[in-house]
Amino acid sequence: MSSNKELEKPRFAPVILAGGSGTRFWPRSRRARAKQVLALQGERTMIQQTLERLQPLASASDVWIITNHWLKDVIAEQLPEIPSSQVLSEPCPRNTAPACALAAFLLEPTAPDTVLGVFPSDQVVADAKRFAEVIGAGVRLAAAGENIVVLGIPPTRPETGYGYVEQGAEIPGEAGIPVKRVKRFREKPDPATAERFLAAGNFVWNGGIFLWSAKTLAAAVREHIPDMAAPLEAIAAAFGTPEFEAVFAEEYPKCENISVDYAILERRSAKGESRSNIYCLPADFGWTDLGSWASLHEHLGENDRDNVMDGETTGLFAIQSGGNYVYAPGKTVALLGVDGLVVVETDDALLITTRARSQDVSKLVRAIHESGREDLI
């Protein structure tokens, strides 16, 4: 039985998307040191943790990384087990649809049944064992026919910063892993709509993890975003040749700058839940998206009033102060009468803001960029 299973096991190629611009966690993150390559929580970097979680499911030699030229070298250094030819650097930023589609066209000619899994590289997963179980089941489901599998995160609040997946009927699946048909994909909602989604009970957050076979995705690209097919096929054909970089640089910018959710999944879901073959599995493995200093405070603190000291500070003295996040490596921090602040120091910069404003740090980075202080970008 177990040997049979082994033989049946579908080939699985994770595609890790790592195209950050390093603005949200400035001044720790920089263009060449985006959050994916930082150890924001734990000892290993986020992309190292991403690979580590996938290793029960896939060999490192089957992993692809799509990043940018700022991060390529540091990623190759942090993940030496991945073949360097499979660490691709986008010639220009192009959202998720071209990146995912490129992976499909690269594998389709030689391994059309390989299941591609798209994984962001900046997520935190608390329960790696459950992650492997759910993704494993998702890979098997995606390997069967023309199925597309998405992961849905159980929502805990009426979040307006994520897209949502509206789930339909449950279908039979593996033990302990409920499978639901997908009715529709919904873009980031306004607050009232988000409240309605949360109350309805059949909406989950779209965490950007998708599974599908190379041939299924390639077919979906040709159907839903046909203009993208020719340039990506040209790039795939040049892979492994001396012309690859030149073709990549020439053809990739022709692709539309669009997300895979919008370009393929929403369009396909319009066929109706029983015909689209899109299925949702529960991402019930302690998922967290680290999108700002405020979310890092939430992740590291036990409650909202905690003063979170990060970066191996050497002590904390707090008087009438709560809910602050401070990153000050090697220093003792003293707080007096301050609440909800974010203070982050690096060798060359000191950021002072509030948790409430920390999602606007990218505005500061833009101002720094416009001033010509590229040393800080």
Of 92, 87, 86, 94, the residue nearest 250 (C-alpha):
92
Considering the complex, what minimum distance in angstroms separates the CB of residue 308 from a second copy?
13
66 vs 365, beta carbon nearer a second copy: 365
Considering the complex, what minimum distance in angstroms separates the CB of residue 22 from a second copy?
14
- Using rule CB under 8 A, residue 172 touches a second copy: no
Among 7, 175, 330, 374, binds a second copy (CB under 8 A): 330
Considering the complex, what minimum distance in angstroms separates the CB of residue 354 from a second copy?
6
Residue type, 107: L
How far apart are the C-alpha atoms of 126 and 180, rounded to whole Å? 23
- Using rule CB under 8 A, residue 328 touches a second copy: yes
Strand-strand pairing, 287-289 and 123-125: antiparallel
Q: Chain-centre distance of CA 67, in angstroms? A: 12
Stretch (H or E) spanning 319: strand 315-319
Inter-residue contact 313 to 333 (CB < 8 Å): yes
Considering the complex, what minimum distance in angstroms separates the CB of residue 371 from a second copy?
7
308 vs 326, beta carbon nearer a second copy: 326
Q: Which stretch binds a second copy (CB under 8 A): 130-138, 152-160, 257-265, 320-328?
A: 320-328
CB atoms within 10 A of CB 154: 11
Task: For Cα atoms 304, 289, 310, give the angle at the middle one, nearest 5 degrees.
Answer: 50
Considering the complex, what minimum distance in angstroms separates the CB of residue 349 from a second copy?
5
- Using rule CB under 8 A, residue 314 touches a second copy: yes
- Using rule CB under 8 A, residue 352 touches a second copy: yes
278 vs 341, beta carbon nearer a second copy: 341
Phi-psi region of 126 (alpha: psi -120 to 50; beta: other; left: phi over 0): alpha
The CA dihedral of 90, 95, 96, 99, to the nearest 10 degrees, is -20
Among 59, 84, 241, 332, binds a second copy (CB under 8 A): 332
How far apart are the C-alpha atoms of 63 and 221, rounded to whole Å? 21
Inter-residue contact 284 to 130 (CB < 8 Å): yes
Strand-strand pairing, 164-171 and 203-213: antiparallel
**What's 275's DSSP letter?**
T
- Helix H, strand E, coil C: the string for 106-155 is HHCCCCCCCEEEEEECCEEECCHHHHHHHHHHHHHHHHCCCCEEEEEECC
Q: Which stretch binds a second copy (CB under 8 A): 128-136, 157-165, 170-178, 314-322?
A: 314-322
193 vs 313, beta carbon nearer a second copy: 313
Phi, psi of 291 (to 5 degrees): -105, -10
145 vs 315, beta carbon nearer a second copy: 315
- Using rule CB under 8 A, residue 324 touches a second copy: yes
**x-or-dash pattern for a second copy, window 92-111, by CB under 8 A?**
--------------------
Q: Which stretch binds a second copy (CB under 8 A): 39-47, 150-158, 258-266, 317-325?
A: 317-325
| Total residues at interface with a second copy (CB under 8 A) | 42
- Using rule CB under 8 A, residue 374 touches a second copy: no
Among 211, 368, 374, 377, binds a second copy (CB under 8 A): 368
Considering the complex, what minimum distance in angstroms separates the CB of residue 361 from a second copy?
7
- Using rule CB under 8 A, residue 357 touches a second copy: yes
Residues contributing to the site for a second copy (CB under 8 A):
26-27, 314-315, 317, 319, 321, 324, 326, 328, 330-338, 341, 343, 345, 347-354, 356-358, 360-361, 363-364, 367-368, 371, 373, 376
